Amino acid sequence: MSEAAAPVSYKGWAGIKRAFGTPSALTMAFLGFGSGLPFLLIASQTLSTRLRDVGLDLKSIGLISLASFFYLMKFVWAPLIDRYAFPLVSMLGRRRSWLLASQIGVTGGLFALAFVRPELGVTPLVLWVLVASFAGATQDSVVDAYRIEIAPESAQAALAATYTLGYRIGLILAGAGALYLAQFEGWIVAYLAMASLMLLPIITTLVCREPVQPEVRIQRRIDFFGAFWQPITSFFSTNGVVLALALLAFVGLYKFPDQVIGVMSGPFYLDSGFTKADIATVSKLFGVWMGIGGAFLGGIAVAAFGFRRMLLVAALGVALSNLAFLLMAHNPGQLWAFYAALSADNLFQGFAGTVLVAFMSSLTDRNFTATQYALLVSLANLPGKFVGGASGYIVEATSYSAFFIFSATTVIPTLLLLVWLWPRIRDRSTD
């Protein structure tokens, strides 16, 4: 029997300990590792650092980051993930078959990226980033659906925290590990080593259990094309048009202050006078552990106090933490400023990530888990991703300091929406 059907209480501190101690929590840590490992290598700081290291300009780096747009569009093919098992390995079940296929795709994409030479032309790199990001986005959709279906809503904050633990460890290896290897062995060895680490989530997929499907699944009563529109109409009919639109807008704006600076952070560290080894130590090692601490703090806070109040705390924290980068901008090359900025940034990123996952999970209909959650995650990343693509132009037209101040002010629409939503959202995590 799945935990989703088990009559277990996750309320109070005893419930929090019980939720963190479930076998599903350990499984989510390993699956989170598989989701976190490729992200920096194909869609964020490690890739942008690699491109800057070989001499590409900031405008080109910002535009190339858009090649990972599949992470924003995964809701488009998520209905197929909800409706069918992956054909070649369908005996594993609907969720695990897609997990295995996507993880193999990520492994192959990272292997190929090891041998591209972006300084000689970016076309091969862009093509393999497209392949790897499609596989990585698919993997993320399935992992999110697996997490929601394997345990009840009251345990989702704990599973989000253990998922984040694995995810952040993946970031450490893809960030600090890859940069250390690139510093001393070169980028080919770095990417080959990262590709080999995908064996861990692949093995986890082969040994973990398939979630039990709901007894009544609406997808079975609709045709192929209905599988694409039914999850959307279900979300609007459940919440009402006005509230549904407000929820979607809120999710879309929530991570904007953090994401708007993501692409430029790697080049900013280099331009501030830090070596790849410095970046690996502070940003990809120390900073990621701060993020893990923030994620677990967020999981405990949501379980104890509910996600509604924590949404406010997290939104303010993320916006204000962006201002901490001004310390680095005005103290270039100073390690104390680097540590201070990364402490604030990663602590609130981790906290906000867990809070947002718990909130979005509460909005999801388990008949359409992958589709609805993928839509919410895509919306959470879409606005910041497109501004991130233009971030190089903003920095070169102004300055890094002005850019960080601008990023902090983008929290204002989020706070205004939260004020309107406050009496309209039910804090089901504390029921």
- Percent helix, strand and coil across the chain, each rounded to 5? 80, 0, 20
Average pLDDT, the chain: 81
Instruction: List the structure tokens of 76.
Output: 């488009």
The Cα–Cα gap between 137 and 142 comes to 9
Is it the case that residue 372 has pLDDT exceeding 70? yes
Percent over 90 (pLDDT), the chain: 19
Q: Decide if 130 contacts 70 (C-beta within 8 A).
A: yes
pLDDT digits (tens, 9 = 90+) for 30-67: 999 999 999 888 877 788 888 888 777 777 777 777 77
Is it the case that residue 143 has pLDDT exceeding 70? yes
- pTM for the whole thing? 0.72
Q: Decide if 431 contacts 156 (C-beta within 8 A).
A: no
The Cα–Cα gap between 268 and 336 comes to 16
| Structure confidence at residue 214 (pLDDT) | 61
Which residue type, as a one-letter code, is found at position 157?
A: A
Model confidence at 268, pLDDT cuts 50, 70, 90, reads: confident
Percent over 70 (pLDDT), the chain: 86
Is it the case that residue 218 has pLDDT exceeding 60? no
Q: How many residues does the chain have?
A: 431
Half-sphere exposure of 318 (CA within 13 A, CB side): 33
Is it the case that residue 3 has pLDDT exceeding 50? no
Q: Decide if 221 contacts 83 (C-beta within 8 A).
A: no
Is it the case that residue 280 has pLDDT exceeding 90? no
The Cα–Cα gap between 84 and 72 comes to 22
The Cα–Cα gap between 233 and 128 comes to 35
Q: Quick one: three-class SS letters along 257-308?
A: HHHCCHHHHHHHHHHCCCCHHHHHHHHHHHHHHHHHHHHHHHHHHHHHHCHH
pLDDT digits (tens, 9 = 90+) for 90-115: 899 889 999 999 999 999 999 999 99
The Cα–Cα gap between 345 and 287 comes to 8
Compare 417 and 47 and report the one with higher pLDDT.
Answer: 417
Model confidence at 140, pLDDT cuts 50, 70, 90, reads: very high
Instruction: List the structure tokens of 235.
Output: 């979300």
If we measure between CA atoms, which residue out of 50, 48, 35, 6 comes closest to residue 188?
Answer: 50
Question: In the chain, what is the straight-line distance between the N-terminal and C-terminal CA atoms, in Å?
Answer: 23
If we measure between CA atoms, which residue out of 189, 154, 160 comes closest to residue 297?
Answer: 160
Is it the case that residue 118 has pLDDT exceeding 50? yes
pLDDT digits (tens, 9 = 90+) for 230-267: 777 888 888 888 998 898 889 888 888 877 776 677 78
- DSSP line for 141-191: HHHHHHHHHHS-GGGHHHHHHHHHHHHHHHHHIIIIIHHHHHHHT-HHHHH
Angle formed by the axes of helices 94-113 and 123-150, nearest 10°: 150
Instruction: List the structure tokens of 303.
Output: 């379980």
Is it the case that residue 195 has pLDDT exceeding 90? yes
